[in-house]
Amino acid sequence: LAIESQLRFALERDEFVLHYQPLVDMHSGRVVGAEALIRWQHPNLGLIGPAGFIQVAEERGFIVQIGNWVIREACRQLAEWLARGLPAVKVSVNLSALQFRQQELSTVIEDALAEHGLSGDCLDVEVTETVVMEDAEATLAAIERIKGMGLSLSVDDFGTGYSSLSYLKRFKADKIKIDRSFVRDIPGDSDDAAITRAIINMAKFLNMKVVAEGVETREQWDFLAGEGCDLVQGFLVAKPMPAADFAARYGKTP
Ligand code: G
Ligand code: G
Ligand code: NA
Ligand code: MN
């Protein structure tokens, strides 16, 4: 059976899972966030990453339902961690452009938060630059509703899309996530070092926090720290992991 037809049933068969990757505050060294990253536990093919099905889900119109599940599951998981006394982290969920076209996005988020007794500031939504630029008026309205509920907004994979700095300002993003393609060759590559430095400085002037993605080495960390980067995400800290592993590793109160 083709992936497409199995994807249709994956939700009702409860085959999706969220893995979590920590975001670390460079100043305190503490885990302050967790990005929720979807995987499909396929009955025959094993664990499939988002690259293997998100685009198909978008094309086939499944992404809204899947994305709504992600929002609810992230809230359920965070509430469970908090109920067990784990330190609070902000959970980031990735939203695709099509989710902004549904009228109910803010209602879905509101209901998920309410059902689990969470406030809006527990959640962060990650959107790519492309999302921000497509259908700007409708997306802007949806983002304003979401931000009005207390959620923060992060621009994901920054630098890889057709960024317009005026959009960035209009959407009042709270965070910029520097795409890992720029981070990979710092500090050695002088172009990437300059780009990374420029993004960090721009974010500071716009009052936004900066997350460096894909940090794998101590040298990258040191360079980013020296440039004033706020947060780091990457294999140097940890790979994305199942919720239970995340809780076991970061649940210890410092
Ligand atoms: O998990 P991995 O590191 O392979 O993530 C690859 C990409 O998949 C990331 O760019 C991320 O934005 C996207 N992705 C992960 N989880 C979700 C999700 O729940 N919804 C959407 N739309 N994209 C996701
Ligand atoms: O949302 P986004 O597309 O940025 O999703 C993050 C993706 O980056 C996930 O697929 C995750 O597994 C991957 N990733 C996270 N940290 C690192 C890292 O340090 N190195 C590399 N190569 N990939 C990473
Ligand atoms: Na992301
Ligand atoms: Mn990214």
Does residue 224 fall inside a structural domain? yes
Is residue 4 a contact partner of residue 60, using CB atoms and an 8 Å limit? yes
Does residue 243 fall inside a structural domain? yes
pLDDT reported for residue 132: 72
Q: How far apart are CA 131 and CA 168, in angstroms?
A: 11
Does residue 198 fall inside a structural domain? yes
Which ligand 2 atom is nearest residue 235's CA? 19
For the stretch 200-246, pLDDT in tens is 999 999 999 999 999 999 999 999 999 999 999 999 999 999 999 99
Single-letter amino acid, residue 69: W
Among the listed residues 92, 31, 28, 17, the one whose alpha carbon sits nearest the alpha carbon of residue 253: 31
pLDDT reported for residue 138: 83
Q: How far apart are CA 100 and CA 136, in angstroms?
A: 10
Residue span of the structural domain in which 92 resides: 3-249
Instruction: Say what the pTM is.
Output: 0.96
For the stretch 83-112, pLDDT in tens is 999 999 999 999 998 998 888 999 999 999
Among the listed residues 73, 123, 70, 127, the one whose alpha carbon sits nearest the alpha carbon of residue 100: 127
Ligand 4 ion: residues within 5 Å (CB): 156-157, 213
231 lines ligand 1 (CB under 6 A): no
214 lines ligand 2 (CB under 6 A): yes
Q: Which of 81-95, 124-138, 159-173 holds the top average pLDDT?
A: 81-95
Does residue 119 fall inside a structural domain? yes
22 lines ligand 2 (CB under 6 A): no
For residue 90, the domain's CATH number is 3.20.20.450
Q: What rounded mean pLDDT belongs to the chain? A: 93
pLDDT reported for residue 52: 94
234 lines ligand 1 (CB under 6 A): no
Does residue 85 fall inside a structural domain? yes
For the stretch 35-85, pLDDT in tens is 999 999 999 999 999 999 999 999 999 999 999 999 999 999 999 999 999
220 lines ligand 2 (CB under 6 A): no
Is residue 126 a contact partner of residue 94, using CB atoms and an 8 Å limit? yes
DSSP string of 100-133, one letter each residue: HHSTTHHHHHHHHHHHTT--GGGEEEEEEHHHHH
Is residue 91 a contact partner of residue 33, using CB atoms and an 8 Å limit? yes
Ligand 4 centre from 45 Cα, in Å?
A: 25
Q: Nearest C-alpha to atom 19 of ligand 1 is from which residue?
A: 38
Does residue 254 fall inside a structural domain? no
Number of domains in the chain: 1
Structure tokens at 146: 């979401």
DSSP string of 161-190, one letter each residue: S---HHHHHHTT-SEEEE-HHHHTTTTT-H
Cis bond upstream, residue 43 (ω within 30):
no
Does residue 55 fall inside a structural domain? yes
254 pLDDT more than 60: no
Q: How far apart are CA 54 and CA 47, in angstroms?
A: 14
Does residue 78 fall inside a structural domain? yes
